[in-house]
Structure 1
Amino acid sequence: MLRFASAPSADMSIDDLRVAIFNYIVARQRGERFILRIEDGDDARNNEGKERNILEIFQLFGLHPSDVSYQRDNLTIYQHMAVKLLQERKAFACFCSHEELEAKKQLAKEQKRVYRYSGRCERLSDAEVLANEKPFTVRLKKPEKPITFDDLVTGHQSFAPDDIDSFVIMRTDKTPTANFACAVDDMIHDISLVIREEEHLSDTPEQIHIREALGYDKTVAYAHLPAILGASGEKGLPGVRWLFEEGFLPEAIANYLILLGSKTPTEVFTMEEAIGWFDLASVSKEPVRFEIDKLRFLNREHIRLADSKELSRAFGFADSAIGELAKCYLEEGSTIGEIKPKIEAIFADKPFEGEWKRQMTLLRDAIKKGPLFETFDELRSYLMERTYLEGEALFTPLRLLLTGSEQGPDLRTLYPHLKSYLQEIVK
């Protein structure tokens, strides 16, 4: 089983979305279940509405999890697991206060050495523990040997016991730390492969150590994806919500995130097509750069490929003609946000003013009195006959009347898609 884990603390990032997509694809390739895990165990980090945002994005991208699990439902399990580790002397109660620990970390920083827990509370006797009334955390004893694993992307990894240290698994309020909850959840769901961002690589030895301490002997494979950077190598990418607001299609975003740092047989593809050939082992081991112009190109191609009726819904219609009309503007815009004003201008009230006021009025009156013409050339001939306009005196005011702009696609190209709305357009 594979999983995507996300805390409902902030809007989903581009990196997070790529991780979710890769997990979904590999689960489909392996014929394994794929679950969405909401890591909501820390109330202080949860933000109202963010859980709904995660679920909505999954739906928009067609990422259909086999199940949705919530960490808040497993609190009792985490506590039982912590008790087991305490009983087996693999963990211990730590009474060091936050202030004490911070002072020691600051001293280590001033002395330019790596901070490590002193082990003071690990040496307390049972009597001393029972006699101590201070709040305590639960720490897992550091491993006795190095933790090693072979990452499917970053290669062989090895962490010495001192690198892992004796770390906290339960807070003073008896809620689990993120790594403890994550490791136990992966055990509960029998996760076979964890695909996540490279920034979580340092968490992996702790999670392996937790599972081994609990007697879980199944090997969990890991693949840590290098970061996605901005076009100039900077951090801080636009969020998924911003991409939607700009009018990028989910199909194009998924296409680009799969394409980034991967070897693909073609540039433009659907996620369903990628399931047939995607290879996790071919993903770049180096950070990749997010270029908005490349995404614009892919978005333009996916708009071109989109079902016209479905595309029209983005503009408030359910008519394939409007979808085709929108595609006519792909040379002028690459997103729904850029094309939408063009479509809105067609159906908006046009100002009859300026140098073309008289001609626009003549053309409007002629169109309103005339029949529906199948071709633009038929309409043009009729208008020339009724108004005696020709050349620029015909085409410029007619374009203004039909599109609200003096520039744009050829009217012959537009007419087949807007002819059934002609009376509504000229009002």
Structure 2
Amino acid sequence: MLRFAPSPTGDMHIGNLRAAVFNYIIAKQKNEKFLIRIEDTDLSRNIEGKDKEILAILNLFGLLWDELVYQSHNFKHHHSFAEYLIREGKAFYCYCTKEFLEEKKQEAISKKIAFRYDDSWAELEKRPSAKPVVRLKGAEGFVRFDDEIKGHLEFAPAEIDSFVILREDGVPTYNFACACDDMIYNIDFIVRGEDHVSNTPKQILIQKSLGYDKKIGYAHLPIILGESGGKMSKRDSASSVSWLLEQGFLPQAIMNYLISMGNKTPTEIFTLSEAIEWFDITNIAKSPVKFDIKRLRYLNREHLKRLNESEFALLLQSKDMSIGAIGKLHLEEASTLNEIREKIDLIFKPKDIAKHYENENFEFECQELFKVLIGMVEVDSKALNDYESFKNEAMSLSNLKGKKFFKPLRILLTGQSHGLDLSVLYPYIRFYLKEILHIKDKQ
């Protein structure tokens, strides 16, 4: 079984989604189940409703799970494992106060040596009322594992001293709960971010101490860099999956981009189901990859092009194929649904003819042409049937020519002074001329 284990403590980061996608793909390739484990043990940081938001995003991206569990529901198992480790002498109670440990840490800093916990400290601060933590005994030998991306990794005993597995309040630490649950659900391969590399040897040590010898495969994904070149953080808007969706990026385009980041893919544009056929985790580059919003915009446009007019209309909250067709036409100059909505909204909003377009004002010409166009619509002129006839009659009746005609015509029909060729756009907007031809009231 493979798993994706998000914490309900904030928005889903694109790095988290990337890990979820890879775990899902590998589960499908291996014909194994895909588990979602909500890691909600950090009770103070959990945000109400975030779990539902995470699940909704996974569902939207087609990452359908076979099982869903909440880590906090396994507390009783975590405690049983901890009690077993204490009985076996592989874990022990530690009464050290935070102040004591901080003092020791500062001593190490002053001596310019690495801070390491000393097991002899465990009972120095013992008091009748003290609530101890439980620590797992540190590694006695090297902890080694092979990573599908990073290669062979090993950690010396000095790097893994005795660490906390149960806090004072009895809540299991991240590493302990994670290691226990990977055992409980028989996880055999884990894809996650490289910030977890230092956690992996601790989790392996926990499992070995519990007598669990199953070899779990690992792949730690390189970090995603922001456009500035630094590690992408929550302060980068584009790091949030929700933000990208709100901007009008399609799930399939985001998915395409995340799979192709630092990866060798046989084709540039693909779907999730297509990626399952050829994806290979060992092709992921070891080095960090920079997030490129321009690249995502390109992929988004390509996926929008793949949609038919009905599908496009539905994304624009319309059942009218003509709206979908208008949307597709705007892919020449727009890349996201939001940008296309803005273009279409301008077509149907009352036109601001008083403002300057490209440092010129066409208010008088717009007024004159507006009267002509309204008149043609009211009498249902036959000239409305095609663009050439429409243009020629409007030009003749308005006595406007050249830029004095074409700029006002474009402004009245689209709300902009430049854009798509009107001869291409007109066949789709001619059915809406009554709704389109409105002038904004002066304030």
TM (norm. structure 2) is: 0.90
Q: Is the 8 A contact 2:8 2:51 kept in 1?
A: yes
Displacement of 1:95 in angstroms is: 0.8
What letter is aligned with 1:254?
A: M
Q: 1:383 to 1:355 in 2, by over 3 A?
A: closer
What letter is aligned with 1:377?
A: E
Displacement of 1:183 in angstroms is: 0.6
Counterpart CA distance in 2 for 1:416 and 1:215 is: 72
What letter is aligned with 1:50?
A: K
Q: 1:223 to 1:352 in 2, by over 3 A?
A: closer
| 1:77-98 residue CA offsets vs partner (Å, 9 max, x unmatched) | 1111111111111111111111
Matched, 1:365 2:375: yes
Alignment of 1:319-338 (within 5 A): 319-338=320-339
| 1:351-372 residue CA offsets vs partner (Å, 9 max, x unmatched) | 4551221112211221232157
Match of 1:404 among 415, 437, 443: 415
Q: State the partner residue of 1:422.
A: 433
Counterpart CA distance in 1 for 2:374 and 2:402 is: 17
For structure 1, the 5+ residue unaligned runs are none
Q: Is the 8 A contact 2:6 2:39 kept in 1?
A: yes
Q: Is the 8 A contact 1:92 1:121 kept in 2?
A: no
Alignment of 1:20-169 (within 5 A): 20-120=20-120, 132-169=128-165
Matched, 1:194 2:190: yes
Q: State the partner residue of 1:286.
A: 287
Counterpart CA distance in 1 for 2:98 and 2:427 is: 72
Matched, 1:253 2:248: no
Q: Is the 8 A contact 1:151 1:157 kept in 2?
A: yes
For structure 2, the 5+ residue unaligned runs are 355-362, 439-443
Counterpart CA distance in 2 for 1:55 and 1:93 is: 38
Q: State the partner residue of 1:220.
A: 216
Counterpart CA distance in 1 for 2:108 and 2:307 is: 58
Matched, 1:395 2:406: yes
| 1:198-255 residue CA offsets vs partner (Å, 9 max, x unmatched) | 0100000110111111111211100001111123421234322222222222111111
Counterpart CA distance in 2 for 1:249 and 1:323 is: 15
Q: Is the 8 A contact 1:93 1:138 kept in 2?
A: yes
Q: Is the 8 A contact 2:353 2:411 kept in 1?
A: no
What letter is aligned with 1:171?
A: R
Counterpart CA distance in 2 for 1:409 and 1:401 is: 14
What letter is aligned with 1:177?
A: T
| 1:166-204 residue CA offsets vs partner (Å, 9 max, x unmatched) | 111000100100000001111111111000000100000
| 1:371-415 residue CA offsets vs partner (Å, 9 max, x unmatched) | 575532343355456656555454333222211112110112112
Counterpart CA distance in 1 for 2:404 and 2:12 is: 52
Displacement of 1:312 in angstroms is: 2.5
Count of aligned pairs between the two proteins: 423
| 1:105-162 residue CA offsets vs partner (Å, 9 max, x unmatched) | 12112211111111125689xxx98x85421011111122211111111000111222
Moved more, 345-354 or 4-13: 345-354
Displacement of 1:35 in angstroms is: 1.3
Displacement of 1:65 in angstroms is: 1.1
Match of 1:413 among 420, 424, 436: 424
SS in 1 for 2:318: coil
Match of 1:355 among 338, 355, 364: 364
Q: Is the 8 A contact 1:367 1:383 kept in 2?
A: no
Moved more, 115-124 or 141-150: 115-124
Q: Is the 8 A contact 2:95 2:122 kept in 1?
A: no
| 1:31-82 residue CA offsets vs partner (Å, 9 max, x unmatched) | 1111111100111121123222211211221111112210111111111111
SS in 1 for 2:5: strand
| 1:262-293 residue CA offsets vs partner (Å, 9 max, x unmatched) | 00112222222111111101000111111111
Q: State the partner residue of 1:299.
A: 300
Counterpart CA distance in 1 for 2:58 and 2:157 is: 39
What letter is aligned with 1:100?
A: F
Counterpart CA distance in 2 for 1:88 and 1:320 is: 70
Q: Is the 8 A contact 1:363 1:398 kept in 2?
A: no
